Structure 1
Amino acid sequence: MYELIPVTEQSYYIQNPSKIGLVRLNDTDVCLIDSGNDKDAGRKVRQILEAHCWRLTAIYNTHANADHIGGNKYLQGQTGCSVYVPEINREFTKHPVLEPAFLYGGFPPEDLRHKFLMAQESDASLLTEDTLPEGFEIIPLPGHYFDMVGFRTPDDVVFLADCLSSRQTLDKYQISFIYDVAAYLKTLEMVKSLSGKMFVPAHAEAVEDIAPLAQYNIDKVWETAEKITFLCREALGFEDLMQKLFTEYGLAMNFEQYVLVGSTVRSYLAWLKDTGRITVSFDQNRMRWTTI
């Protein structure tokens, strides 16, 4: 864990549960793409920087999930580096309670206010093309999270953030976190057609050909949509639907899984309703979802 993996002479990633990109800008300066989950991740990154006599100039966050921004505060305090974050995500870095609050739908209980869902606050500026080093490109990747982006480096390595899950993760958990299903599917179709020297997803292996994994993720989205549509042949309340999904997929419910899967299922229901496949009714003050 936290091994520095070279992709090209200029681009690397640091192996950890959510890959951290590292790009050499010259002989001494480097920038990061995301910063890991917490202070400990930041400390490991600092040790790598010191071992190579590199100076960290900036962190470019793909989005504001805690496992991508958790090292920001420590590294910013240790190195004085700048931090840049896309649009809405900037508020999540300054007010990290927004992530568990968004997932829970209200003020989150203590069970959700921990480092895996709530990073330490960090001072971030707005990510724009002008803030990037020369030769970098921002790649919009909406769907998984608010305004998520990836980056293409000057040597044609593409960092894809969380727009893809590994086959192993999808086979084990079946449902990956999605904020906007329609946008997510469009992103995956776009990613299928991308060219690049190497593709580095945050939660899957780096590969030269990303299209097969993108298609596998697309297929899983449609499979989940069909499962929800099938279960809603009988009018179901949200809690009943969640219980059936967890049981059929063999998932163990806890607070984290409830909000992560629950938020995603609500996104599926919104998409299925907006596209005319599911309707909503209210019976005895209960909302019920029914396949049309």
Structure 2
Amino acid sequence: MYELIKVNDKTFYIDCPAKIGVYQAGENEVYLIDAGSDKDAGRKVRQILEKNEWTLKGILNTHSNADHIGGNAYLSRNTGCPVFTDGIEAAFTEHPILEPSFLYGGYPFKDLRHKFLMAQESETRGFDDPDYPKEVKVIPLPGHFFDMVGFRTPDDTVFLADCISSKETLDKYGISFIYDVEKHLETLDKVENMEAKFFVPAHAPAGERVKELAAYNRDKVYEAAEKIKNICAEPKNFEEILKRVFDEYNMQLTFEQYVLIGSTVRSYLAWMKDKGEMQAEINDNMLFWRK
């Protein structure tokens, strides 16, 4: 874990739970793509940088989920490097309470205010900032989160953030976190047709091909949608639907899974309602969903 792997002339990644990219911009200057989950991850990354005698010039964040920005604060504080992100992701990075608040749908109780869902805050700059390395191309990859992006380095390595999950993860859990199902499917179409020398997804094996895995991720989205529609053959309220989803996928409910999968199920319901495949109705002061 936290092994530095070289994939092209100037591009590396650090193998860890959410892969961290390293782009070598000069002989001794590098940029990170994401920063790990917390200060401990940041400390391990810093040790790798020092071992290679690299100066950290900046952190490029793909999106603001805590496992990708948790190392920002430690690394920027100890190296003075800027953090680059944009749009809604910048707001979540500067105000991390937004992530558990968004997922819960209100002020999150204490069990949700921890590093898994809420990173330390860090100041950010936009991708249009003069100090952003313009040779690293920003690739919009919305769906999993609001304004998630990937990056293409000059030696044609593409970092895909969280837009695809590994086959093993999908087979184990069946349903993965998605904010906007329609945008997520559009992103999977884009990735399936993308060309590059090498691909580095954050939570799937890195390699030269990604087409088949993108298609498998799409299949799992439609499979989850069908399960939810079948659950709603008769009118059900949200809590009933969520319980059935957990039962169908043999998952155990926890506070974290309640907000992550709960938010995802709401996104599926909204997507299918907008397509005319799901109805929402209020009866006796309760909201019910029906196929």
Q: Which residue of 1 aligns with 2:273?
A: 273
CA contact (8 A) 1:129 1:137 kept: no
SS across alignment from 2:12 = strand
Gaps of 5+ in 2: none
TM-score normalised by L of structure 2: 0.98
Q: Which residue of 2 aligns with 1:139?
A: 139
Q: Which residue of 2 aligns with 1:78?
A: 78
Gaps of 5+ in 1: none
Q: Which residue of 1 aligns with 2:283?
A: 283
Q: Which residue of 2 aligns with 1:90?
A: 90
Cα distance in 1 between the residues matched to 2:132 and 2:125: 12
Aligned residue pairs total 291
SS across alignment from 2:26 = coil
Amino acid corresponding to residue 258 of structure 2 in structure 1: Y
Cα distance in 1 between the residues matched to 2:76 and 2:215: 37
Cα distance in 2 between the residues matched to 1:203 and 1:53: 28
Moved more, 132-141 or 117-126: 132-141
Q: State the 1:130 CA deviation.
A: 5.4
CA contact (8 A) 1:151 1:158 kept: yes
Matched, 1:252 2:277: no
Q: Deviations over 1:187-244 (max 9, x none)?
A: 0001000000000000000011110000000000000011111111110100000111
SS across alignment from 2:13 = strand
1:155–1:129 distance in 2 versus 1, CA, 3 Å:
farther
- 1:24-103 matched pairs, under 5 angstroms: 24-103=24-103
Q: State the 1:129 CA deviation.
A: 7.7
CA contact (8 A) 1:62 1:86 kept: no
1:287–1:134 distance in 2 versus 1, CA, 3 Å:
closer
Q: Which residue of 1 aligns with 2:125?
A: 125
Q: State the 1:247 CA deviation.
A: 0.7
Q: Deviations over 1:41-69 (max 9, x none)?
A: 10001000000000000000000000000
Moved more, 141-150 or 129-138: 129-138
Q: State the 1:134 CA deviation.
A: 4.0
Amino acid corresponding to residue 177 of structure 2 in structure 1: F
The two structures, once aligned, show a CA RMSD in angstroms of 0.9
CA contact (8 A) 1:70 1:115 kept: yes
Q: Which residue of 2 aligns with 1:166?
A: 166
TM-score normalised by L of structure 1: 0.98
